[in-house]
Amino acid sequence: DVKVTQSSRYLVKRTGEKVFLECVQDMDHENMFWYRQDPGLGLRLIYFSYDVKMKEKGDIPEGYSVSREKKERFSLILESASTNQTSMYLCASIRGLAALGSYNEQFFGPGTRLTVL
């Protein structure tokens, strides 16, 4: 049974704190993603990683950084949390690149609802 897990379901932090969100997948997937989900805006890509130690900015990387030291683990870091980073954070993983015209399914973790006070 495929699985993507996230370290916390709910998290409350204070403005200015450094926040770590952890994501682990047990499917040996090469690609991992961090999204945030806000009402009316849908899922927006923060960062993604195609392989260990590789990372690329998504659409809204400002205020975030990531770390991929091991294939199974992808961490999202909020260097100095702000109230506008209150959101649902979703991690996802997907196996490599699919053949042309085909696809590999993207699997999501259960999400972390972060509140910054």
Partner 1 sequence: GQNIDQPTEMTATEGAIVQINCTYQTSGFNGLFWYQQHAGEAPTFLSYNVLDGLEEKGRFSSFLSRSKGYSYLLLKELQMKDSASYLCAVRSPYGNKLVFGAGTILRVKS
Contact positions toward partner 1, by CB under 8 A?
4, 31, 33, 35, 40-45, 48, 50, 58-59, 90, 94, 97-98, 101-106, 108-111
Q: How far is the CB of 92 from partner 1 (least distance, A)?
A: 8
- Tokens coding 97: 């690149």
Name the residue nearer to partner 1 (CB basis): 17 or 51.
51
Six-digit token string for 37: 């989900």
For residue 51, what are its two tokens?
Answer: 């392989």
Could you tell me the CA-to-CA distances from 57 to 73, 98, 102 in Å, in that order?
A: 17, 22, 25
Nearer to partner 1, 12 or 14 (CB): 12
Instruction: Identify the CA nearest to 3 among candidates 79, 101, 109, 102.
Output: 109
Q: How far is the CB of 78 from partner 1 (least distance, A)?
A: 21
Q: How far is the CB of 8 from partner 1 (least distance, A)?
A: 14
Nearer to partner 1, 16 or 110 (CB): 110
Comparing CB distances to partner 1, the nearer of 16 and 52 is 52
Judge contact between 29 and 79, C-beta under 8 A: no
CB of 52 to partner 1, least distance (A): 16
Rounded distance, CA 22 to CA 12, Å? 15
